[in-house]
Amino acid sequence: MNPVKKVAKGNGWIAVYGVGYVGLSLVAVYLRKGYRVIGVDIDEEKLEKIEKGELWYGEEAIRKAVSKGIREGRLILTTDGVEASRKSVIKTVTVPVYVDWIKKTYSFHALRDVSVKIARGLKKHDLVIIESSVPPGTTMSIVKPILEEKTGLRAEQDFYLAYSPERVYIGRAVRDIEENYPKIIGGAGPKSTEIAAEFYEGIAVKGVIRMSNPTAAEFEKLAEGVYRDVNIALANELAIAAMKMGVDYYEVRKAANSQPYSHLHLPGPGVGGYCIPIYPYFLSNELLKKGYVMELTRLARRINESMPSIVASLVDEALRREGLKPKTLKAAALGLAFRGDIDDTRLSPSHDVVALLKARGFKEIIIHDPYVRRDPIIEDLGLKITNNLGEALKDAGLIVVLTRHSSYKGLKVSNILRYTGREPVIIDTTAYLDNDINYDKIITLGKTPW
């Protein structure tokens, strides 16, 4: 029987492999649709937190859907991926392809492991959808062979296999899946495409876009990220150029974007998260194997990865102007998350900026973030995180604003001075602060002549 019709009639379960940011969002969306769902993850502690209602990644829609699903018996949480595969007729995979950020290499270990577990419970007419961001060709060259070799079944003939990239913005993922974007579908064949499309047409208000094959769909997802990375790199380069020319990038950006073909992005201290910084390597590394160098993509990465060093250079310049030495100053870094109003610190450029400050020998460094309570990298650096802005700013001789949290927007420099009790050097990489007193010891990325 058609697996989509099975779950719609309440006769089948959907298994979601990996219940992180994306996976738990999908769990919530499926539950909101009335489906029965199995959340699978190797992290028992994470599953316990979800069951207790302690983990929903800041989205109230997720919390409500998960709580209701557990209460009604429509959500099962388990570490047993094989049993989940046996019980389910649709399997959605969101486990990551892990990246060695130093070597810029990646490992398919988690995806292979999940594929084997799914294969051990795979049945005829089941649907497998890969939603993880992956290098192009992964679904057909890694997942499909594992499923077929372990089962003797054949994709398209015996079971359905498709790639459908997640397209979510953390903090509004449920709305993105259900309302904001069409779903991209690339099946291993026409039957798989249509079955996967039928499933998501019942979920995504804007319908689906059918791609010719999984590799095209994988490429599409990465192209979205590369577009963002390249344009952020352009914004960063123009912001620095504006400073050198003594003009305000934000003024220029506003005027330029009044033209319908100009979409200048915001500059910042770098690009973080487990998406945009990684996708260029997924794509460019695979193209290197084919003898093609993605020059623009690689250059954009270099620019964005250099931004923490640029911020550190602004610190050096500001201290030189004031005749100050790091070893005599307390430094406060405002913002650890890689993006505003979330608690996700993965690959945050704030880590690099803080590490560079520590290397410069500041007497004390404290990190403020309204959402982040703990972070292993900051702990390894032996530094403190606080949610109390006053604590972070007290006695600080250097303040570096690194994240566009809404709580920083419009923060008056006069108030900062009252908090610090002194006249600190301020580096604002976000252009969020309100210099209400024309304070001259502040450098704003993209604004202050340099």
List, in order, residues 6 or more apart from 253 with CB less than 8 Å away: 235, 238, 264, 266
The residues of the chain that CATH labels 3.40.50.720 are 3-212, 306-444
Residue 395 CA, chain-centre distance (Å), reads 34
Q: Is the confidence at residue 58, as pLDDT, over 90?
A: no
Q: Is the confidence at residue 56, as pLDDT, over 90?
A: no
pLDDT of residue 372: 97
Confidence of residue 175 (pLDDT cuts 50, 70, 90): very high
Confidence of residue 135 (pLDDT cuts 50, 70, 90): very high
C-alpha Rg value of the chain to the nearest Å: 24
CATH number of 222-300: 1.10.1040.10
Q: What is the pLDDT of residues 12-53, one digit of tens each?
A: 999 999 999 999 999 999 999 999 999 999 999 999 999 999
Q: What is the pLDDT of residues 31-40, one digit of tens each?
A: 999 999 999 9
CATH architecture of 3-212: 3-Layer(aba) Sandwich (3.40)
Between 252 and 55, where is the model more confident?
Answer: 252
pTM for this predicted structure:
0.94
Q: Which of 6, 91, 117, 221 is catalytic?
A: 221
Q: Which of 127, 140, 51 is nearest to 85 (CA)?
A: 127
Q: Is 275 assigned a catalytic role?
A: yes
Helices 295-322 and 349-359: angle between axes, nearest 10 degrees: 40
Integer CA distances (angstroms), 347 to 103, 273, 338, in order:
14, 5, 7
pLDDT of residue 424: 98
Q: What is the pLDDT of residues 275-292, one digit of tens each?
A: 999 999 999 999 999 999
The residues of the chain that CATH labels 1.10.1040.10 are 222-300
Q: Which of 144, 275, 330, 447 is catalytic?
A: 275
Confidence of residue 198 (pLDDT cuts 50, 70, 90): very high
Q: What is the pLDDT of residues 304-352, one digit of tens each?
A: 999 999 999 999 999 999 999 999 999 999 999 999 999 999 999 999 9
Which whole number is the average pLDDT over 249-257? 98
Measured distance CA(356)–CA(306) in Å, rounded? 12
Place of tokens 């959808």: 129
Measured distance CA(83)–CA(377) in Å, rounded? 36
DSSP 159: B
pLDDT of residue 169: 86
- Evaluated on CA atoms 110, 112, 114, 116, the torsion sign reads negative
Q: Is 221 assigned a catalytic role?
A: yes
Q: Give the phi and the psi of residue 92 in degrees, each rounded to 5.
A: -110, 130
Q: What homologous superfamily does CATH list for 306-444?
A: NAD(P)-binding Rossmann-like Domain (3.40.50.720)
Averaged pLDDT score across all residues of the chain: 97
Q: Is the confidence at residue 57, as pLDDT, over 90?
A: no
Which whole number is the average pLDDT over 80-85? 98
Residue 309 burial (CB < 10 Å; 0-12/13-18/19+)? middle
